[in-house]
Amino acid sequence: MSEPILDVRNLKTYFYTARGMVRAVDDVSFTLNKGESLGIAGESGCGKSTLAYSLIRLVPPPGKITGGQIIFKGKNVLEMSEEEFRREVRWKGISMVFQGAMNALNPVYTVGDQIAEVLMLHQGYSKKEALETVAKMLQMVGIDPKRLKSYPHELSGGMKQRVVIAMALALNPPIVIADEPTTALDVVVQAQIMNLLKRLKKELGLSIILISHDLSLIAEIADKIAIMYGGEIIEYGPSEAIYNRPMHPYTIGLLGSIPRLHGELRDLTWIPGFPPDLANPPPGCRFMPRCPKAFNKCSEKPPLVEVEPGHYVKCWLYAKG
């Protein structure tokens, strides 16, 4: 029986900018079970990275979490004090592989020292103990423990990404968020990193949230998928349902735009127009201006309806009333 480990309810993260309130994450809900992986997909600017930052309470100003609940192990982490959250949840409960983190490693420290720092700060390890643990971590992510003493510039892109993943795993968190973990990596290295994530998921029972614009990449690991558009989740469900029976016109458009390596050569489709300005989103369905199937009902906000068990769609084509 799968038990929920993270339950996000009606999360709202808004940015208070000079142009007005930007609804980067607007009323987003999902559940992540133990050992499960969730893929969050969407175009740039759809709010997927902001959602990730919200989960570890690192939304950069002028952004603020303005509503909703993030329930981790039965507790609403949004009600915790910053200190309590830092001590109990961030990194120990939910850690993150940031986008481009492999290029953010400190060039003047060895990778061993950098990972050890996490253990010394959070667990109070001595340097020696910490380095011993780090050696094990490196081995786990497929790096020769001798590399402890290497500086980031001595490592290849793929190895740096492994180091960053080791850093995220240092405190044994049950949940890791990976934000575009393979951008800037070549396909072969990308496949190796995905293999590593799959292996960690299996061996450690890790729950993974993978954020990417690339639905092909997400298919590599995700058990469940949330498609985001304009700050909202517009379709949500098990992988098989989303890929084989997409319902929302946006999801259908996204899947139709992916060039495939095998199978018949179908014409690619695309979604004309641009994503909405989240400071001033369309009042009804946010996808309506680009939707090939829009009709008059769409000027009202669509509800998220369950079209088959566990498969939800936010679209008037499937809603009653």
Partner 1 sequence: MSEERIYEPKITSNTILFAKNLRVYFPVRKSFLDILRGRPQLYVKAVDGVSFDISKGEVFALVGESGCGKTTTGKTILRLNKPTEGEIGFLPSKEILEEMRSYGGINNISEYGHISLASLNEHMLRPLRKDIQMIWQDPFGSLNPRRTIYEILEEPLAIHGVGVSREDRYDIVAKALESVKLTPPDEYMDRYPHMLSGGQRQRVVIARALILNPKFVVADEPVSMLDVSIRAEILQLMMELKNKLGLTYLFITHDLAVARYISNRLAVMYLGQIVEIGDARRVIENPLHPYTRALVEAIPEPEPSRRLAIREIPIKGEVPSPINIPAGCRFHPRCVALDEKPELREYCMKREPPLVEVEPGHYVKCWLYAKK
Q: Given the complex with partner 1, which of 223 and 232 has the nearer CB atom? A: 223
Between the alpha carbon of residue 86 and those of residues 78, 80, 175, the distances in Å are 12, 9, 15
Give me the sign of the Cα torsion angle 184, 229, 217, 54: positive
CB 168, min distance to partner 1, A:
20
Between the alpha carbon of residue 211 and those of residues 47, 100, 132, 178, the distances in Å are 10, 13, 31, 6
Q: Given the complex with partner 1, which of 44 and 296 has the nearer CB atom? A: 44
CB 228, min distance to partner 1, A:
13
Q: Given the complex with partner 1, which of 168 and 221 has the nearer CB atom? A: 221
Q: Given the complex with partner 1, which of 21 and 255 has the nearer CB atom? A: 255
> Which ranges in the chain belong to alpha helices (H)?
48-55, 82-88, 111-123, 127-140, 157-169, 187-204, 215-219, 239-244, 249-256
Cα atoms found within 13 Å of the Cα of residue 233, Cβ hemisphere only: 26
CB 79, min distance to partner 1, A:
35
Closest CA to 143 of 165, 126, 124, 123: 165
CB 171, min distance to partner 1, A:
25
> What are the respective helix, strand and coil percentages of the chain, to the nearest 5?
35, 25, 40
**Burial of 225: CB neighbours in 10 Å, binned 0-12, 13-18, 19+:** buried
CB 68, min distance to partner 1, A:
27
Residues in contact with partner 1 by the rule CB under 8 A: 37, 43-44, 156, 158, 186-192, 194-195, 198-199, 213-217, 219-223, 239-240, 242-244, 253-262, 265, 268-272, 274
Q: Given the complex with partner 1, which of 26 and 223 has the nearer CB atom? A: 223
Residue 62, preceding peptide bond in cis (omega within 30° of 0): yes
Q: Given the complex with partner 1, which of 73 and 213 has the nearer CB atom? A: 213
CB 287, min distance to partner 1, A:
11
Q: Given the complex with partner 1, which of 36 and 113 has the nearer CB atom? A: 36
Q: Given the complex with partner 1, which of 71 and 191 has the nearer CB atom? A: 191
Task: Provide the residue count of the chain.
Answer: 321
Specify whether the CB–CB gap between 211 and 180 falls below 8 A. Answer: yes
CB 281, min distance to partner 1, A:
16
CB 186, min distance to partner 1, A:
4
